[in-house]
Structure 1
Amino acid sequence: MDPEFIVLPMVLIGLPWLIMHYVTKWKTAATITNDDEVLLEELYNLAKRLDERMDTVERLVATDDPSFNPVKRIQPDQDSDNQQLRELEQLLAEKKGARP
């Protein structure tokens, strides 16, 4: 058997198959799944609720103890802090609107 009959099919069939196999692997690995999106949205909502609770707790403690000085963190309802949240909420709304 000639080596040409082995090498030629390997080059014409095997090499493109190998390249396409890894291209599809890279494409699927780079995307986020629907389950991941749902989990991220749940985590975002949880973080938002926890932030609101922290604001409430700090307000309650501040009314009980005037000398209370909260640890420096994102201050509630400041426009500069809420800008990124508004952008994220807008993206989520657009994504939900795009879904059938």
Structure 2
Amino acid sequence: MSEAVAIVFVICVLPLAIVMHYITKWKATKGLTQDEERMLEDLWRDSQAMESRLNALETILDDEVPGWRKHV
């Protein structure tokens, strides 16, 4: 009888416990690390700077080469 209980435990309960353990671990580490947050902020600042530069270039092209957008 104890062998049957051990087999049921190993087949049913143990895999479920392992899955629940790793689901809990996954949910705990779901967020960004500090390094990832810093990198994301740096990328955001860089993209804002590039957008500003692109707008400046488009303004210059609008003044220097009217109609340039039709050729793009």
Shared fold (TM-score, shorter chain, > 0.5): yes
Alpha-carbon distance, 1:18 to partner: 1.5
Match of 1:58 in 2: 58
Question: Which has the larger helix fraction?
Answer: 2
Looking at structure 2, the residues matched to 69 and 16 of structure 1 have their Cα atoms a distance apart, in angstroms, of 61
Q: Which residue of 2 aligns with 1:41?
A: 41
Q: Partner residue of 2:23?
A: 23
Q: Deviations over 1:67-99 (max 9, x none)?
A: 33378xxxxxxxxxxxxxxxxxxxxxxxxxxxx
Task: Give the CA RMSD over aligned residues.
Answer: 3.2
Q: Which residue of 2 aligns with 1:89?
A: none
Between the two proteins, the alignment pairs up a number of residues equal to: 70
**Unaligned segments of structure 2, at least 5 residues:** none
Unpaired runs of at least 5, structure 1: 72-100
Greater C-alpha Rg: 2
Report SS of the residue matched to 1:30: coil
State the identity as a percent. Answer: 23
Tell me the secondary structure at the aligned position of residue 37 of structure 1.
helix
Distance 1:4 1:68 in 2: 80
TM-score of the two chains, using structure 2 as the length reference:
0.63
Shift of 1:54: 0.4
